[in-house]
Amino acid sequence: MKTDPLKEHINRAFAPYEALKPVGELKEELYHDLQERFQDLRNQGYDEETALKMTLDSMGEISEIVSAITEKGKELQQNIHADFRASNMQDSDLSSIVAEGRNFDYSNLRKSDFSSSDLRNGSFRYCNLADVNFNKANLTGAKIKKSELKGATFDGAVLDNVDFRMSNLQSVSFDNLTLNGVNFDYSGLRNTSFRNATLINVSLRTDLKKTVFEGATMDKLTYAVLKAYKADVSKVIVR
Amino acid sequence: MDNRISSDVIRGHTDTIILRLLSAGDKYGYEICKLVLAGSKGEYELKEATMYSSLKRLEQEGKITSYWGDETQGGRRRYYRITEAGLMAYRQNKQNWEYLKTILDQLI
C-alpha cells in the first residue's frame, strides 16, 4: 500500500505528545483538514508534490496547539526538545502514560506516579526516582542507571532486561516478581528484598551480604553469582 | 508592506476572527481557514496550528462548544458552535477594536 505522507507528517509532528490524552482526536481533525486542503489544491491545478508541500506548510507549529490543549502541555513544550531530559517533574501524576523509548535522563521525578505506564526502553540515567510508584508499569528494556530509587515500588511491574547498574535500590522490594535478564551490577542492594521472586539470567555482581533472597527461585548461574558475592542463599530454590 | 508584521498583528485577533465566523453558523476547522483566506482576499493565511490552539482555548473558556458531524463520506468533521459567552466576548472584543482603531487613527 502507498504510504500516506499527510498522516505520516501528522504522526511525526505529534510523536512527542502522544502521552497527552486529547491528542488523538486532534490528529483526526487535523488529518481531515489537511486531506481536504490537499484535494482543493489539486483541484486548483497544483501538481501532487507542490500541493503536498503547500498543505504541510499550512499546518504551522504543532507545539502551539499542544500548549493550548492541556495545562501540562506548556511544560511538555518546554521540555520537548530535550525529550523530558533534565526536567523537574517531582510529584507528577504520570500514571498510565505511554512513554515508550522516552528519555528522562537527569530528571527529578521524585514521588512521581508511573503506575501502569508503558515505559519500555525508556532511559532514566542519573535520575532521582526516590519514592516513585512503578507499580504495574512495563519497564521492559529500560535503562535505570546511576539513579536514586530509594522507596520506589515495583509491585506487579514488568522488568525484563532492565538495566539497574550502579543505581541505589536500598530497601526496595522485588518480592514475588519474575526478573528476566535484569542487571543489578554495582547497584546498592542493602536490605533490598527478592522474597519469592523468580530470577532468570539476573546479573548481581555487587555486595549482597544484606540482600534478602528468602524463597526466591533461580537458575544455577544466578545462584553461583549469589554465592560468590556472599549472599545468604540458605532459603533459595535452585532449578 | 511588510507582510510578517501585519500577519503578527492579525494573529493577535485570531480568537475574535473565529468567534465572528462562528456567530454566523457552526463550522469545522478547514472551513474556518478557507473563510479567513477568502475574507482577507488571499492576504492572510490562518495556519492550522494557530487556528486549533485558538479553538481549543476558546472551548476551554466556554466560548465555543464542539461536536463530531455525521458525515458518511471522507472522514468525520468536528464542528464548532459559539456559545452565549462566546457571543458576548465577540461583541466586547469588537467594541475594544473600534475604540483602539479610533485612537490609532488619531495617533498615526
Residues of chain A positioned with their CB less than 8 A from the CB of B48: 30, 33-34, 58-60
Q: Which residues of chain A have pLDDT under 70?
A: 1-2, 19-21, 69-93, 95-100
Give φ, ψ of A9 to 5 degrees.
-65, -45
| β-strands A178-180, A198-200 pairing | parallel
pLDDT of residue A4: 86
Q: Name the A residues in 43-62 with CB < 8 Å from any B CB.
A: 58-62
Q: Total domain count for chain B?
A: 1
pLDDT of residue A82: 41
Query: ipTM of this predicted complex?
Result: 0.83
Tell me the CATH number at B44.
Answer: 1.10.10.10
Show pLDDT as tens, one digit a residue, over chain B (108 residues): 556 667 778 888 999 999 999 999 999 999 999 999 999 998 888 999 899 989 988 998 899 999 988 876 667 789 999 999 999 999 999 999 999 999 999 999
pLDDT of residue A138: 92
| β-strands A237-238, B27-28 pairing | unpaired
| β-strands A198-200, A217-218 pairing | parallel
pLDDT, tens digit (0-9, with 9 covering 90-100), for A173-231:
999 999 999 999 989 999 999 999 999 989 998 889 999 999 999 988 888 888 888 89
Q: Virtual CA dihedral for B93, B98, B104, B106, nearest 10 degrees? A: -160
Please tell me the distance in Å from B29's CA to the nearest CA on chain A.
7
CB A139 within 8 A of CB A120: yes
Please tell me the distance in Å from B102's CA to the nearest CA on chain A.
32
Interface probe, candidates B14, B27, B44, B52, chain A, greatest A C-beta count within 10 A: B52
Burial A122-138 (b: 16+ CB within 10 A, else e): bbbbebbbbbbbbbbbb
Interface probe, candidates A32, A39, A40, A63, chain B, greatest B C-beta count within 10 A: A32
Cα maximum dimension of chain A = 81
pLDDT of residue A79: 42
pLDDT of residue A78: 41
Cell numbers 548461574 correspond to A221
Domain span holding position B59:
3-107
pLDDT of residue B76: 77
Q: How far apart are CA A179 and CA B48, in angstroms?
A: 47
Cα dist from A72 to A66, A83, A131, A134, whole Å: 9, 14, 22, 21
pLDDT of residue A107: 77
Record: contact B78-A29, CB cut-off 8 A: yes
pTM of the model: 0.51
